[in-house]
Chain A
Amino acid sequence: MSTEAQKLSQPVTAQKSSLPWLVLFAGWIVPGAGHFLLGKWVRGSLIFLSILAMFLLGLGLQGKIYVPNTADILDILGFLGQLGMGMGYFLARLFGWGASSVLITLGDYGTKFLTVAGLLNIIAAVDAHSLANGRKAS
């Protein structure tokens, strides 16, 4: 039987867990899902609502949905930003949501909304990953 002092002096073995990566992936696919998996319901809900609202506003403003196969560097960067939306981006491509090019003035705003929604989702997913691996205090 080990004493409390002996327990404390034992080296802590690093536990390999797939949870942080699962949380990161889930947070990327569905906004806030990473926080939901960690039991952070309020944070997850606020993130989900905020990012979904930005995405829907972007679509409502007829923002452009970028595709990966153009040679323009700005298009590629826009695509990477919007890819951060995860499932939202794939659904938009699948169902033809958004515009293929900016046709009205507000469409430019819509494109920014869509791209920033994707970037915010990446930040949120990384935050959930940091919470899961203990890098960030909860």
Chain B
Amino acid sequence: MLTHFSAVLLFALCVSVVFGITQRSEPKMMVRFGAFTFACLVGAVIVVSWLMYAIKH
């Protein structure tokens, strides 16, 4: 069963692959930008999740 976090990971993976390919020209830079996008998406989710937890408690 897909959890909320695994859904986020899959979403970030697919988006970062397409962003990496389309936003850069060189293969090395594509991989780097894709990894950066993935880290930003997942990192933002974790930060916002903890913020919501802190607001509630």
B22 adjacent to A109 (CB under 8 Å)? no
Q: A57-B10, A61-B2, A106-B2 in contact; A46/B21 too (CB < 8 A)?
A: yes
- The DSSP consensus for interface residues of chain A is helix
What is the number of residues of chain B that contact chain A, defined by CB distance less than 8 Å?
14
Contact of A46 with B25 in the complex, beta carbons under 8 Å: no
Count of chain A residues near B, Cβ 8 A: 24
A101 CB to closest chain B CB (Å) equals 20
Smallest distance from the beta carbon of B25 to chain A beta carbons, Å? 5
Interface presence of B45 (CB below 8 A): no
Please report A residues at the B interface, Cβ cutoff 8 Å: 43, 46-47, 50-51, 53-54, 57, 60-61, 106, 109, 112-113, 116-117, 120, 123-124, 126-127, 136-138
Known contacts A47-B17, A117-B14; 18 additional CB pairs below 8 A are A46-B17, A46-B21, A47-B18, A50-B17, A53-B10, A54-B14, A57-B10, A61-B2, A109-B4, A113-B11, A120-B14, A120-B18, A123-B19, A123-B22, A126-B22, A127-B21, A136-B25, A138-B25
